[in-house]
Amino acid sequence: MGFTIAIDGPAAAGKGTLSKAIAAHFGFAHLDTGLLYRAVGAKTLLGVEPIEAALKLVASDMDDTDLRSPEVAQAASKVAVIPEVRAALVDFQRAFGARAGGAVLDGRDIGTVICPDAKVKLYVTASAEVRAERRYLELSAKGDASTREQVLADVKARDARDMERVEAPLKPADDAVLIDTSEMSIEDAIAKALAAIEAHTA
Ligand code: CDP
Ligand code: CDP
């Protein structure tokens, strides 16, 4: 069993940024599990039935640059409430988590459901307003026309769907270290995460 780090939290909390930095620091592989749900969501926008899309997902489906759009984010959170969709994606994520060389997985249910035995679990969060502003800046830099108000409403709708679903809802694992990045620079968040990981492995 490899060294697994689980990073969960709501949209635009900084999970991906932290995961990449942690993976680079330790030389571990990184899986953004949100991309799996985004890839399934993107297929449903093309008319494919969600469970079929999840069962037939292949690695190249995750290469689509449009997966980062707000439409796909909403579609992802809608397919993510379907138990059969989640079940179809479990084995791939667990196998990734068990890699011999170490793995960082980020998502919503990594510490609670996918890798409950992860060596270290982080729950990364920030206020909805701060997260929406970060996502708004990212989207507008890419030429997306969404307004601040739309991005905030999208983030809140997704938070509610992710936290209120019956199957694998978003919540901190009992043994997760909480990191609120609302008033933290990226550098400070990385330093805090690395310190938490080192404290667990000392
Ligand atoms: O993966 P997740 O959706 O949780 O968030 P992310 O993609 O890592 O971060 C969303 C945006 O917030 C990125 O543009 C980051 O550069 C930014 N960010 C930030 O400004 N301050 C932080 N402490 C963490 C992330
Ligand atoms: O980057 P951001 O945090 O905005 O979203 P994401 O991590 O790409 O996830 C997109 C959607 O997929 C989330 O809103 C969740 O509904 C779903 N998801 C999930 O249910 N479980 C995961 N492990 C990862 C994502």
Per-residue pLDDT of 88-101, as tens digits, reads 999 999 999 999 99
pLDDT on residue 201 = 82
Radius of gyration of the chain (CA): 16
Residue 201: inside a domain:
no
Asked if residue 186 has its Cβ within 6 Å of ligand 1, the reply is yes
Is position 167 within any domain? yes
Domain that residue 95 falls in: 4-191
| Residue 16 in marked binding region | yes
* Annotated binding residue 111: no
Q: How high is the pLDDT of residue 8?
A: 98
Is residue 33 domain-resident? yes
- Which pLDDT belongs to residue 137? 97
Answer yes or no: is 196 within a domain.
Answer: no
Q: Name the closest-CA residue to atom 7, ligand 2.
A: 34
Residue 12 inside a domain? The answer is yes
CATH label of the domain that carries residue 127: 3.40.50.300
Percentage of residues of the chain with pLDDT beyond 90: 97
Please, which pLDDT band fits residue 185 given cuts at 50, 70 and 90?
Answer: very high
Confidence of residue 1 (pLDDT cuts 50, 70, 90): low
- 142 lies in some domain: yes
Q: Is 15 marked within a binding site?
A: yes
pLDDT value at position 104?
98
Specify if 198 maps to a domain.
no
Mutate to test the pocket of ligand 1, among 7, 15, 17 (most ligand atoms within 8 A of CB): 17
Pairwise CA distance, residues 95 & 160, whole Å: 29
Nearest ligand to the CA of 151 is 2
Ligand 2 atom closest to the Cα of residue 73 is: 10
125 is in an annotated binding site: no
Name residue, tokens 């799996």. Answer: 36
Render pLDDT for 146-158 as a digit per residue (tens, 0 to 9): 999 999 999 999 9
pLDDT for res 65: 86
How sure is the predictor about 87, in pLDDT bands with cuts at 50, 70 and 90? very high
- Work out how many domains the chain is built from and give that number: 1
Mean pLDDT for the stretch of residues 17-38: 98
Residue 50 lies in a domain: yes
Region 55-64: mean pLDDT is 94
- The per-residue pLDDT for range 105-145, each reduced to its tens digit, is 999 999 999 999 999 999 999 999 999 999 999 999 999 99
Residue 77 Cα to ligand 2 midpoint, Å, equals 6
Ligand 2 within 6 A of 41 CB?
A: no
ipTM, interface predicted TM-score of the complex: 0.97
Distance 202 CA to ligand 2 centre (A): 31
